[in-house]
Structure 1
Amino acid sequence: MSTSAMRPPLAGEVMSKLRQDVANGRWAVGQRIPAEPELIAELGVSRGTLREAIKALAHSGIFEVRRGDGTYVRATSEICGTAQRVYREHSDHDVLQVRFALDTQAARLAARASDQEVIKRLRDFLDQRSDAWQRQDFSAWSQADWAFHLEVARASGVPLLHELYESFGDVFHGTKMSQRLAEGFDGCLREGHEALVEAIEAADDEAAARTVIANLDYCMGWMP
């Protein structure tokens, strides 16, 4: 066996391995990754190499190192991590304006595909959303609503669009949807939801875009 074949993994290789573990769902967003000794034994690297890799992934936004607590997954990719950091530097209004562009194009493309399996999943998410809203379980409502919008983005058939859209999860839908608690806010608005599914099923891309815009206009009206 050659000397090069026996060398320990470099920090870049460790980064790639940890990045892939996150992308494959080994650790979910918000979950703490294993402690240093466990990862050192698993990867066969030195403490310094592991820390260098984790520091780089924290800088890119994938990990968050909490002193005295551990390292947590913050995003599923560099693009999500960077986007979340950038979004936090802008107003809710600006973030929502970006969603106008992504939502409408995702809706158009999903309607052009008009996939029946996608339509079934979307309706299941809307059933969960309606049930959670009736029970006033705002956490479950938010999760179902966001899963619905992510499925539309995924159904666009453009992986990059889906990844960009996914980056809004914590920044916009998770922490900036305070209007869901405001008295009078309609958490089961048909526009951009049931009406969107109907447009997708009818393969009407322009109707899909119009109903998405109506939903986002409604959300914009509840911005503080």
Structure 2
Amino acid sequence: MTLKQPARMSLAEQVAHQMDSMIRTGKWPVGTRIPPEPELVNQLGVSRNTVREAVRALVHTGMLETRQGDGTYVSSSSDLGAALQRRCKRSNIVETLEVRSALEQEAARLAALRRTEEDVEEMLRWLRASDAAETIEQYIDADMKLHQSIIRAADNSILTELYEHMTEAIHRSIGETVERMIFSPASERFVAHKKIHKEMVEAIIDREPEAATQAVRAHIEASQQAMLRQEQGGSA
């Protein structure tokens, strides 16, 4: 990695700009630890103080996160994403479900119009994985990946990026909804939850945007009802 030098920027700003580029292009993926300080100093040919200042700047934006005794990790692929992640952490499950409803209905509609055979294979892969799940954790993971595959099939880069930045909040909403359905007095609600997923994927495969949108709406409404029943003490 060689330091590029945009004009009219301090050395620390140049280093921060270079690190920002490494993150945005995926060379430093979200969740990974960046090279240690001595390695960055050698790679970029700058002082420790310059590297530290650049890291602090990206920590401030939320793109990097320092972990005491463990190093510095990439926490977001953009400063906008970091801001959205911070906002999502302050949201409740009801708000998250409402935003999911808006994003996922449009994603399903677009996916039904634009999906490729590769998209279909990926959706079916995670649909089968959810059916085969033996634990709640396995089911939640497959469920999350199924929704992400539908988002990608919509072939809209802004929609995909927005959804990715909401991953933590969405994962939390899926987890809480599934757990409440599984432990609900009426276990058929969980069976219905899985059935809606199948209908959603089938509508996308059959290129039926209206049916796909309706399936997503039914899915989110079922999740909202599960949350409401829990608040009311599990009554039907």
Q: TM-score scaled by structure 2?
A: 0.80
Cα distance change on mapping 1:91 and 1:214 into 2, 3 Å: same
The answer to whether the 8 A contact 1:110-1:156 is kept is yes
In terms of mean alpha carbon deviation, does 18-27 or 115-124 score higher?
Answer: 18-27
Q: How does 1:37-76 map to 2 (within 5 A)?
A: 37-76=38-77
Q: How many residues align?
A: 215
Match of 1:213 among 213, 217, 221: 217
Aligned residue for 2:37? 36
Are the counterparts in 1 of residues 140 and 174 from structure 2 also a CA contact under 8 Å? Answer: no
Return the letter of the residue paired with 1:205.
P
How far the C-alpha of 1:90 sits from its partner, in A, is 2.0
RMSD: 2.5
Q: State the Cα deviation string for residues 173-211 of structure 1 (Å, max 9, x = none).
A: 1477233333146286221x2211111112111111110
Q: Return the structure number with greater helix share.
A: 2
* Residues 32 and 70 in structure 1, CA contact (< 8 A), matched pair in contact too: yes
Q: Distance in 2 between matches of 1:174 and 1:92?
A: 8
| Greater displacement, 166-175 / 195-204 | 166-175
Letter in 2 for 1:150: Q
Distance in 2, matches of 1:125 and 1:73, equals 27
Pair 1:90–1:49, CA change in 2 (3 A):
same
1:102-154 deviation digits (Å, cap 9, x = unpaired): 1011111111113222111100111122222xx1151x333322222112112
Counterpart AA for 1:212:
V
- Counterpart pick for 1:141 among 136, 139, 143: 139
Checking the alignment, whether the CA contact within 8 Å between 2:109 and 2:212 is kept in structure 1 is: yes
Superposed CA deviations along residues 62-95 of structure 1, whole A, max 9, x for unmatched, are: 1112234321221222232111101112222112
| Distance in 2 (alpha carbons) for counterparts of 1:208 and 1:67 | 46
Amino acid at match of 1:87: C
Correspondence for 1:189:
194
Cα 1:175–1:61, aligned 2, differ >3 Å: closer, same or farther? farther
Can you give the 5+ residue segments of structure 2 that lack an aligned partner in the other structure? Answer: 232-236
Deviation at 1:9, TM superposition (A): 8.1
Q: Percent identity?
A: 34
C-alpha contact (below 8 Å) 1:64/1:74 kept by paired residues: yes
